[in-house]
C-alpha cells in the first residue's frame, strides 16, 4: 500500500516520542473546537446580460439572495455536515450581520449548554445567540458580499466582491473572555482547528494559550494560517496547512513543483516545531511532510472548477474530522484532497457528506496496484493493518467487493496466474497475502523460498488483477483475515486435511469461500522436483560417459 501513513503521525511528538493520549467522546461523532475569524458570506445572484448606459459596467438583474457562514464559521458548517459536533469560538459585531451569523450558527444545532461559556459582557439580542460566539460593540462583523452573474445559460460567475471588516486586534477584555472559553472547551474536544484570516481574532496571546493548553492534554491542533503572517504565532501546532503562496511567503522558497513543496514543508516543520505540514497546491493536489521524515504527494483531481471559494476551509474541516476519528494523517490527506475537488464544483462553500467524500476516494483507488506492505510484529504491524483497513473502508463506501487470497507464490507460474485471475473475477478488489521468507521455511523446509519475499510481492503487485499485496509472518492467514474481514476468501481446490484456514471465520460473518480448480501438474513444488530430477539425470549421464571413457 503506497498511500497511507503511520497513525502516530496524527499526534505531536514534541518531547521525542508520540504521547499516550486518552481520546475524549465518541470518535464517530466528535466534538471539535474551531477558533478563528467568523464571517458572513452574502451572495447576490442574477442575470448579467447587458451593459449599463451610465458606465462601461455590467448590470446585474437580481434574482435571489442568500447568506452563509464564512471563515471559521464555514469550517464549523462543513464539520456539522460531516457528522461532527462543532464548537465555534469567535467574535462578531453587535450589528445585523452578527445577528445573522448567530442565526446561522444556531441552525447547525449547537445548543447553548454544549457551547462555550457566555461572557458577562455579551450583548443579549434575544435571539438565543450560541454561547460559542462573543459580541464586541467596537468592531463590525466581517462580511464578504459577492455578486454572481449568469449569462447565455452558463454557470454564474463572480462579478465583484465587497468586504466590510476590521483587522484590528481584539480588545484585551474580549480576548481574555474568548481565551478562557476556548481553554475550558479543551476538556471535551478531540481536535482544535484554527482558522486565521487575519481579521484580528487570532491574537498571539490567544493562539499561544490555546496551542500550549492543547499540547498538555494531547489534543491535536490544526492551523489554516493567515496570508503573509508570522508562523511563530502557530509554533508547536500539530499540523500547519498553508497553500502554495502562503508556504512560499513563509519560507522564502519558490514552490514550482512537488520537490520544492517537500522542501518547504521540511522547512516549516524544522523552523516552527510543527509535527506536519500539509501544503495545498491547487491543481497539483497537496503534499504531506512530517517532522519524522514522511513525504507524500496526493495528486490533484481533474474536476470542472466552478469556484475555489471554500476549498481551503474544506481541507481544514476534513483533516480535523479525520484526526478526531483517529485516522492516519496520510489517509486524512487523501480524504481532504478528494473533498476539495468536490467543493470547487460548487459556487460558495457547500456542505459535503462523509459518504460522498469516502466514495470519491474509493473510486479513485479502485483498480490501482499499490506497493507491498510488510506485516512485522509489534507497532509496525498495527500501523500496516490500520492502513489496509482504511483502504477497505473506502472501497466498501464505493460499493466494492473485497476478495482475499494467500500463498507462498514461490516461482510465480501459470497456475498462480490462473488462480489470481479467477479470484479477481469474484469481486472488485483483490488483496493477496504472501508468506514471508521465515514462514515459507517453516512450511516448505530450509531450502525454500527460492525467491525472496520482497521480489515475490513485487511480481504480484505488478499484475493487473492484483490491487494490494501484503507480506505476513504467520504460518496461516487467519489473524490477517480476522483483521481485514474480506467479502470473499479464495483458495486453490487441492485436498486440505484441515480445511481452508480462515474459512469458518469468513462464513461466520456472512462472507463467501470459493475454491478454484487447479491446473494439472502446475505447482512450485512439482516444478522444483522436475528440475531436480532432470539435473540428477544429467549427472548420471555424465558419470556414465566418464566411466565409459576410463574403461
* Domain extent listing, the chain: 31-50+68-365, 373-519
pLDDT at position 385: 76
The HSE-up count of residue 421 (CA atoms within 13 Å, CB side) is 9
* H/E segment holding residue 38: strand 38-51
SS3 call for 243: strand
- Predicted confidence at residue 196, as pLDDT, reads 97
Question: Which residues of the chain fall below pLDDT 50?
Answer: 1-23, 111-131, 366-369, 379, 497, 535, 539, 543
Cell 497537496 sits at which residue? 286
Contacts of 190 (CB under 8 A, 6+ apart): 23, 24, 25, 27, 30, 31, 32, 219, 324
**Phi, psi dihedral angles at 484 (to 5 degrees):** -95, -25
Assigned architecture for domain 373-519: 3-Layer(aba) Sandwich (3.40)
- Asked if residues 238 and 220 have their Cβ atoms less than 8 Å apart, the reply is yes
The Cα angle at residue 384 between residues 380 and 386, in degrees rounded to 5:
115
Instruction: Write out the E strands in 450-487.
Output: 468-472
d(CA 155, CA 315): 24
Check whether domain 31-50+68-365 has CATH 3.40.1190.20, yes or no:
yes
Listed residue (222, 216, 249) closest to 234, CA to CA? 222
Q: Give the catalytic positions in this structure.
A: 313
Amino acid at each position: 500500500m503506497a498511500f497511507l501513513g503511520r497513525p502516530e503521525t496524527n499526534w505531536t511528538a514534541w518531547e521525542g516520542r508520540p504521547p499516550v493520549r486518552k481520546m475524549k467522546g465518541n470518535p464517530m461523532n466528535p466534538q471539535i473546537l474551531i477558533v478563528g475569524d467568523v464571517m458572513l458570506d452574502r451572495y447576490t445572484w442574477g442575470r448579467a446580460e447587458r451593459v449599463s448606459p451610465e458606465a462601461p459596467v455590467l448590470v446585474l438583474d437580481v434574482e435571489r439572495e442568500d447568506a452563509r457562514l464564512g471563515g471559521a464559521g464555514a469550517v464549523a458548517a462543513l464539520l456539522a455536515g460531516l457528522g461532527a459536533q462543532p464548537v465555534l469560538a469567535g467574535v462578531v459585531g453587535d450589528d445585523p450581520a452578527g445577528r445573522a451569523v448567530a442565526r446561522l450558527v444556531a441552525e447547525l444545532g449547537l445548543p447553548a449548554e454544549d457551547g462555550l461559556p457566555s461572557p458577562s459582557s455579551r450583548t443579549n439580542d434575544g435571539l438565543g445567540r450560541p454561547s460559542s460566539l462573543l459580541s464586541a460593540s467596537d468592531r463590525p462583523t466581517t462580511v464578504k458580499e459577492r455578486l454572481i452573474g449568469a449569462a447565455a445559460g452558463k454557470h454564474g460567475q463572480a462579478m465583484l466582491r465587497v468586504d466590510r471588516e476590521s483587522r484590528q486586534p481584539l480588545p484585551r477584555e474580549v480576548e481574555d473572555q474568548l481565551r478562557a472559553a476556548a481553554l475550558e472547551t479543551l476538556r471535551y474536544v478531540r481536535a482544535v482547528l484554527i482558522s486565521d484570516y487575519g481579521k484580528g481574532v487570532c491574537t498571539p496571546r490567544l493562539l499561544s494559550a490555546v496551542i500550549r493548553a492543547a499540547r498538555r492534554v494531547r489534543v491535536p491542533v490544526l492551523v489554516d494560517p493567515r496570508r503573509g503572517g508570522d508562523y511563530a504565532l502557530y509554533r508547536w501546532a500539530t499540523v500547519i496547512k498553508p497553500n502554495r503562496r502562503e508556504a512560499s511567503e513563509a519560507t522564502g522558497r519558490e514552490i514550482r513543483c512537488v520537490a520544492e513543496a517537500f522542501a518547504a514543508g521540511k522547512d516549516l516543520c524544522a523552523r516552527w516545531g510543527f509535527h506536519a505540514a500539509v501544503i495545498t497546491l491547487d491543481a497539483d493536489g497537496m503534499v504531506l511532510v512530517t517532522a519524522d521524515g514522511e513525504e507524500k504527494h496526493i495528486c490533484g483531481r481533474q474536476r470542472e472548477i466552478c469556484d475555489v471559494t471554500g476549498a481551503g476551509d474544506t481541507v481544514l474541516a476534513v483533516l480535523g474530522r479525520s484526526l478526531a476519528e483517529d485516522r492516519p494523517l496520510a489517509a486524512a490527506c487523501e480524504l481532504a484532497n478528494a473533498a476539495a475537488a468536490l467543493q470547487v464544483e460548487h459556487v460558495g462553500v457547500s456542505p459535503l457528506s462523509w459518504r460522498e467524500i469516502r466514495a470519491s476516494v474509493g473510486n479513485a483507488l479502485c483498480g490501482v496496484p499499490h506497493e507491498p506492505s510488510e506485516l512485522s510484529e509489534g507497532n509496525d504491524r498495527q500501523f500496516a493493518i490500520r492502513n489496509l483497513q482504511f483502504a477497505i473502508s473506502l472501497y466498501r463506501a464505493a460499493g466494492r467487493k473485497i476478495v482475499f487470497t494467500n500463498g507462498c507464490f514461490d516461482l510465480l507460474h501459470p497456475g498462480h496466474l490462473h488462480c489470481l485471475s479467477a479470484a479477481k473475477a469474484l469481486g472488485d478488489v483483490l488483496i493477496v497475502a504472501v508468506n514471508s521468507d521465515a514462514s515459507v521455511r517453516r512450511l516448505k523446509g530450509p531450502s525454500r523460498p527460492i525467491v525472496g519475499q520482497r521480489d515475490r510481492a513485487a511480481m504480484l503487485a505488478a499484475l493487473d488483477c492484483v490491487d494490494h499485496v501484503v507480506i505476513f509472518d504467520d504460518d496461516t492467514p487467519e489473524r490477517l483475515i480476522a483483521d481485514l474481514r474480506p467479502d470473499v476468501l479464495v483458495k486453490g481446490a487441492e485436498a486440505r486435511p484441515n480445511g481452508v484456514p480462515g474459512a469458518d471465520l469468513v462464513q461466520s460473518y456472512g462472507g463467501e469461500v470459493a475454491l478454484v480448480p487447479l491446473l494439472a501438474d502446475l505447482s512450485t513444488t512439482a516444478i522444483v522436483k522436475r528440475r531436480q530430477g532432470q539435473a540428477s539425470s544429467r549427472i548420471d549421464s555424465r558419470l556414465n560417459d566418464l566411466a565409459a571413457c576410463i574403461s
